[in-house]
Structure 1
Amino acid sequence: MLYLFGFERIGVAVSDIYFVDPNPTPGQEGAERGVRLELRRLEPGELKGSIYSARPITVDRPIWRVDLLESVSGTPGSFDRTHHHPGVKGWEPGRRVFDSRLSEEPLKWLAERLGDLEGVLDQAGVGRDEVSPADVSGLRERAPEIVEAVGRLLDTVRTAAPETPAGAESATSVRASWL
Structure 2
Amino acid sequence: MLYAFAFERVGVVVSDLYFIDPDPIPGQESPERGVRLELRLFERGEVTGSIYAARPVTIGRPLWRVDLLQDANAAPATFDRTHHHPHIDGWEPGHRVFVEELSADPLSWLAAKLSDITGLLKETGVSADELAPTDAADLRAAVPEITDTVRRLLDRVWAGELARPSGDSATSARVSWL
Instruction: Give the TM bin, normalised by the shorter chain.
Output: over 0.9
Aligned twin of 2:167: 166
- The alpha-carbon distance between structure 1 residues 69 and 101, as it changes in their structure 2 partners (threshold 3 A), is same
1:88-103 aligned within 5 A: 88-103=88-103
In structure 1, stretches of 5+ residues that fail to align are none
Q: Given that residues 46 and 55 in structure 1 are in contact (C-alpha distance below 8 angstroms), is that contact kept between their aligned partners in structure 2? A: yes
Determine the C-alpha separation between the residues in 2 that align with 1:154 and 1:163. 12
Deviations 1:83-128 (A, max 9, x none): 0001111000011000011001000000000100001100110001
Question: Identity across aligned pairs (percent)?
Answer: 57
The TM-score, its normalising length taken from structure 2, stands at 0.96
Structure 1 runs of 4+ with >4 Å offset: none
> How far does residue 48 in structure 1 lie from its aligned partner after superposition?
2.3
In structure 2, stretches of 5+ residues that fail to align are none
Structure 2 residue 149 is the aligned partner of structure 1 residue 175: no
1:133-148 aligned within 5 A: 133-148=133-148
- Aligned AA for 2:80? D
* Number of equivalences: 177
The TM-score, its normalising length taken from structure 1, stands at 0.95
1:1-179 aligned within 5 A: 1-160=1-160, 163-168=164-169, 171=170, 174-179=173-178
Deviations 1:9-68 (A, max 9, x none): 001000001000111121221100000000000000011211110111010000000000
Q: Given that residues 18 and 33 in structure 1 are in contact (C-alpha distance below 8 angstroms), is that contact kept between their aligned partners in structure 2? A: yes
Deviations 1:123-156 (A, max 9, x none): 1100011102210000011111100000000001
User: What SS does the corresponding residue of 1:22 show, helix, strand or coil?
Assistant: coil
Determine the C-alpha separation between the residues in 2 that align with 1:178 and 1:83. 18
CA RMSD of aligned residues (A): 1.3
